[in-house]
């Protein structure tokens, strides 16, 4: 595959069904998927495979042992981080070709220490009630990916 229009990065994902659904989304949108260990499941997990259906051969998947291994290979200025605790709405983000959309694990997100020096590049999807702490990871990724594709003019075709 040539360089992708966008990259989805999952840092320490824990739920195989979410990662499987995100893998299917990335296959459908021709977005590269990066997984950063530790993973909360085996890549052979039946729930992961089921959620991704038979689309796994179409997933442009890269796997890294640590954040440092991943981050050392890419331009940090192209990274946008997503957290339920950000004050910036994802609709204010200006997406560009080649951006990395970085999401944390389902239970801990990316974490306050990780995001401390990245607040200007960190965005949230608005939640309109205090009873809900966060959205499902696969839903959040889909919302952001399609907004990025809309901004990049990829939804007109």
Q: Average of pLDDT values for 50-79?
A: 87
Q: Average of pLDDT values for 103-108?
A: 96
The C-alpha R_g of the chain, in whole angstroms, comes to 15
For 43, other C-beta atoms within 10 Å of its C-beta total: 13
pLDDT category at 1 given cuts 50, 70, 90 is very low
pTM of the model: 0.93
Q: How far does CA 144 lie from the centroid of its chain?
A: 8
DSSP β-bridge partners for residue 36: 11, 64
The interaxial angle of helices 16-29 and 137-151, nearest 10 deg, is 20
Q: Of 107, 113, 104, whose CA–CA distance to 83 is shortest?
A: 104
Q: Of 7, 14, 3, 2, whose CA–CA distance to 95 is shortest?
A: 7
Residue 54 has pLDDT above 80, yes or no: no
Task: Name the DSSP letter for residue 88.
Answer: S
Burial level of 111, CB count in 10 A (0-12/13-18/19+)?
middle
* CATH code, 6-151: 3.40.1280.10
3-state secondary structure (DSSP) of residue 55: helix
What are the sequence ranges of the domains in the chain? Answer: 6-151
Question: Could you tell me if 5 and 152 are in contact, meaning their C-beta atoms sit under 8 angstroms apart?
Answer: yes
Q: Which helix (H) or strand (E) holds 80?
A: strand 79-82
Question: How high is the pLDDT of residue 45?
Answer: 63
Q: Average of pLDDT values for 33-45?
A: 88
* Residue-wise pLDDT tens digits, 18-29: 999 999 999 999
Question: Could you tell me if 118 and 81 are in contact, meaning their C-beta atoms sit under 8 angstroms apart?
Answer: yes
Q: Average of pLDDT values for 135-142?
A: 97
pLDDT category at 59 given cuts 50, 70, 90 is very high
Residue 53 has pLDDT above 90, yes or no: no
Q: Of 47, 25, 147, whose CA–CA distance to 10 is shortest?
A: 25
pLDDT category at 76 given cuts 50, 70, 90 is confident
């Amino acid at each position: 595959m040539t360089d992708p229009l966008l990259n989805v990065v999952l840092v320490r994902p824990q739920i195989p069904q979410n990662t499987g659904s995100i893998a299917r989304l990335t296959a459908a949108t021709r977005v590269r998927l990066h997984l950063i260990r530790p993973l909360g499941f085996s890549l052979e997990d039946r729930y992961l495979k089921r959620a991704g259906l038979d689309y796994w051969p179409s997933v442009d998947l890269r796997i890294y042992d640590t954040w440092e291994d991943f981050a050392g290979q890419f331009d940090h200025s192209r990274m946008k981080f997503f957290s339920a605790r950000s004050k910036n709405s994802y609709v204010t983000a200006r997406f560009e070709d080649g951006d990395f959309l970085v999401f944390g694990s389902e239970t801990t997100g990316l974490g306050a220490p990780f995001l401390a020096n990245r607040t200007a590049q960190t965005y949230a999807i608005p939640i309109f009630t205090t009873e809900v702490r966060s959205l499902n990871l696969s839903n959040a990724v889909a919302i952001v990916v399609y907004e990025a594709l809309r901004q990049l003019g990829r939804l007109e075709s």
